Structure 1
C-alpha cells in the first residue's frame, strides 16, 4: 500500500496492453452490491406486475450506475493509497444506505434513497477532482465528468426535499444527466480508453453477482415448497436457464469492442457495449424472480399471466441484450450468434403470448429449451473443423 499523499496514476496506452485483474479492493467493494441487488429482487417479488417491474427498473438504474461510476474510475486511474481506500469505504457506506432504502424506495424511504445516491456521487466527484488536480493530461475528461455528475447529484439532493410526483421527475432528469455525461467527453475518452482486459472482467463479475441472485431464487423457491416431481423438474429447468445465460455470456466475453474503438477511433462501440449491460443485468435479476415465482406456483394449475410474462419477458430481454453485445464484437461467429440471440427473444415472447393455460413446469420447460438451443448453437459453431487439401495445392 502506498502512502496517503501519493496521487492517483493515469493508466497509459502502454498499461492497457498488459493483462490486468480486478484488485482485492474492487472485489470487496462488489460485496455491498450483492445486498443491493437482493433488495431490488425482493421488491419485485412483492409486486409481480408491470408497475412493479417498472419500479424495479427505476431503482435498479441508480444502483447499477453507482457501480459503473466507481468501476470506470478505477479502470482509468491506478491508486491504492489510504485516501483511495477511505473514499471507497465511503462509497460502500452510501451503497449500503441505498440498499437499506430500496424496500420502500418509491415510498416513505425515497428521500433516504435520494440522499444516499447523491452522497455516493459526491464521493465520486471528489475522486475525479483529485485525479484532475494531479494528472493534467486527464483534466479535460475529469472536469467534464465532475461537472455533469455534480449537476445530477444536486438534482437528487433537491429531490429529497420535494414531494412526489416532482421528486421522481427530478430523479428521471438526474439519471438522464448521469447517463449522458460521458457522451459530452467523447473526444477525451478516445485518448483515455478503458483497459481492454480489466473492464470486461469487472463487468463479468457484476454479471456473476446478478446470476448468483438467480441461483438464490431457485433455492428459495424450492425451500418454500413441498417437494414433488414437478417442482423438482421446474427447479432443474430454472438452474438450466441461469447456466445457459452464463454460458453464452462468458463464452463471448472479451475486450474486442475496446480494441476496435482504439483501432478505429470509434468510442460509440464501447458506449453501446457498456450501456447494453444494463438491460442484461436487469433481465437476469428479473428472470431469477420469475423462476422463483414459477417454483412457488401450484404446479397442477395454469401459471399466472403475470408470472409467465415476467419469466418470458425477462429472459427475452437478456437475449436481446446479448444479441446487441455480440453485434458490437468482431470475433468469429459473433454476428451469426447475434441473430440467434434475437431469434430466441422472439421465441420466448411467443411463449408468453401463446402460453396461457400452460402449467408452470411446461412454461419454464419451453423457456429452458429455447435457452439450451443457444448453448448448442455456440458449441456447433465453435467445433473444430478440418479441411481436405488436394495434393499439390
Structure 2
C-alpha cells in the first residue's frame, strides 16, 4: 500500500544516457491500438474512394495522437505505482471506446468517438498535473501541456453535442490546439528532452503495429481467394513491400534527433521527427489495405484506378516521409538515401499515373521493385569499401 500514491519521477536528466526499454505496461497498452488500427483499416477497406481515404485519415489522427500523448508522458515521467497503472487502465478504456466507435466514426458514432477521445485527453491532463505537483523543475512544461490539452479536450467534448458538420469544425480546432501545444513549450523542453533510447523504441513499436496490418492483409487476401499462381505471386510481392519498408525504417532508426537537440539545443528537430511520423504510419496502414485490395481483385482483369492509386499513393507517402526524415537528420542523416526515397516516391506516383490497364500482379510487382531498390541502395552504401567515405554524405 505504501506504493499506492508513489509520486511520478523524472525519467530524464541524470539518467538520460542510461539504456531504457519499453515497460510491460506500455506493451500491454499498445494492444488497444492494434485493435484501433485494425478498425481503421477495416473502414478503409469498405470505402477506398477519396472520401473514404479522407475519413480514414481524419479518424487516424486522434487515434495516433492519443498514443503519442501517453508515450511522451511516460518517456518523461513514468513510475510503476498503482496510481499510474490505474490511470493507464482508464486510458486503455478510452482508446478501446474510440476503436468501438470508429466504424461509423464520421456518422452516427461520431459523438461516442469524440467523447472517448476527450476523456482520454482528460486523463493525460491529470497525469501532467500530478507530475507538475511532485516535480517543481518540470512544472512550467507540465502546466503548459495541461492547459493546452485541457482546452482541446473541452472542444472535443462540446463537439459531441453539436450537429454535423459543425461537430467536425470543433474537431479540427481541437486537434490543431493539441498539435500546437508541444510547439509552444519550446524553451521549456530544452531541459526535459525525451529519452534517447526509449522514444525511438516506442515509435518503432507503433510502426510495427501498422506494418502488421500489411501482414494481416496478405493473409486475409489469400485466404478469401481461390489459390492460383497470380494470387500467390501477388501475396509474395505484398510481403516484399512490407519487409522492404521494415528494413528501410529500422535500419536507420535511432536517437539522432534527441542527441542533436541535447547537444545543439535544436528542439525543432524532435518535433519534426514526431510530426513526420504521422504521414509515415498513415501511409503504411493504407498500404496494407492496398495490398489486400489487390489480392481480392480479379487477377486477370486490369486493376481499377482507385486500387492502383491506393497502393501506389500510400507507399509513395511512406517513401516521402522517410526522405524527409533522412534529409533533416531525424533518422540517419544521409542526403543520398533521402534522394533515393524521394525518387522512389516519384516513381510510385508515375506507376499510379501511367499504370492504367495493368494487371494487379503487375502493379504490386512494380511497387515491390521500387520498395526493394531502397533496401538494395542501403546495402550498397553500407558496403565495407564505402566506409572509407563519410557514410553521412
Task: Provide the rounded CA distance (Å) in 1 between the counterparts of 2:330 and 2:98.
Answer: 38
Distance verdict in 2 for CA 1:2–1:212, change over 3 Å: farther
CA deviation string 1:145-178 (max 9, x = no partner)? 0000000000000000010110001001111000
State the partner residue of 1:381: 381
The structural deviation recorded for 1:336 is 1.3
Partner of 2:391: none
Offset at residue 214 of structure 1 (A): 1.0
For residues 190-245 of structure 1, the C-alpha deviation after alignment (integer angstroms, 9 at most, x for no partner) is 11000000000000000001101110011000000001000000000000000000
Question: SS state of the match for residue 67, structure 1?
Answer: helix
User: How far did residue 53 of structure 1 move?
Assistant: 0.3
Cα 1:238–1:19 change in 2 (3 A) is same
Given that 1:2 and 1:80 are in contact with CA atoms closer than 8 Å, whether structure 2 keeps it comes out as: no
Aligned partner of 2:227 in structure 1 is: 227
Does the 8 Å contact 2:40/2:102 carry over to 1? yes
Per the alignment, do residues 18 and 44 of structure 1 end up closer, same or farther by CA in structure 2, a change over 3 Å counting?
same
Tell me, yes or no, if the aligned pair for 2:327 and 2:333 is still in contact at 8 Å.
no
Structure-2 residue corresponding to 1:348: 348
**Counterparts of 1:56 and 1:64, CA distance in 2:** 12
2:262 aligned residue:
262
Aligned to 2:184: 184
Mapping 1:188-227, distance limit 5 Å: 188-227=188-227
Q: Which residue in the other structure is 1:125 paired with? A: 125
Q: CA RMSD in A?
A: 1.3
Any stretches of 5+ residues in structure 2 without a counterpart?
389-393
Is residue 302–residue 359 contact of structure 1 (8 Å, CA) maintained in 2? yes
SS at match of 1:318: helix
Distance 1:339 1:109, change over 3 A: same
Give the Cα–Cα distance (whole angstroms) in 2 for the partners of residues 153 and 162 of structure 1.
15
CA distance in 2, matches of 1:223, 1:358: 24
Structure 1 residue ranges, 4+ long, deviating more than 3 angstroms after superposition: 330-333
Within 2, Cα distance between the matches of 1:340 and 1:57? 26
Once the two structures are TM-superposed, the CA of residue 387 in structure 1 deviates from its matched residue by: 9.1
Match runs of 1:115-154 below 5 Å: 115-154=115-154
Q: Is the CA contact (8 Å cut-off) linking 1:244 and 1:375 kept in structure 2?
A: yes
Counterparts of 1:21-60 in structure 2 under 5 Å? 21-60=21-60
Unpaired runs of 5+ in structure 1?
Answer: 389-393
Per-residue deviation, residues 15-40 of structure 1 (Å, max 9, x unmatched) = 11111000000000000000000000
**CA contact under 8 A between 1:257 and 1:328: conserved in structure 2?**
no
Aligned to 2:43, the other structure's residue is in SS state helix
Question: How many angstroms apart in 2 are the aligned matches of 1:270 and 1:298?
Answer: 45
SS of 2:323's partner is helix
Deviations 1:324-377 (A, max 9, x none): 111232777622101110110000000000000000000000111100100000
The secondary structure found in structure 1 opposite 2:385 is: coil
Tell me, yes or no, if the aligned pair for 1:333 and 1:381 is still in contact at 8 Å.
no
TM-score w.r.t. the length of structure 2 is 0.97
1:58-80 deviation line (CA, Å, top 9, x unaligned): 00000000000000000001311
Q: How many pairs does the alignment contain?
A: 388
Taking a change above 3 Å as real, the CA distance of residues 178 and 2 of structure 1, as seen in their structure-2 partners, is farther
Instruction: Tell me the CA shift for residue 13 of structure 1.
Output: 2.2
State the Cα distance separating 1:184 from its structure 2 match.
1.0
From the superposition, tell whether residues 148 and 11 of structure 1 become closer, same or farther in structure 2 (CA, over 3 Å): same
Is the alpha carbon distance of 1:330 and 1:272 closer, same or farther for their aligned partners in structure 2, counting shifts above 3 Å? closer
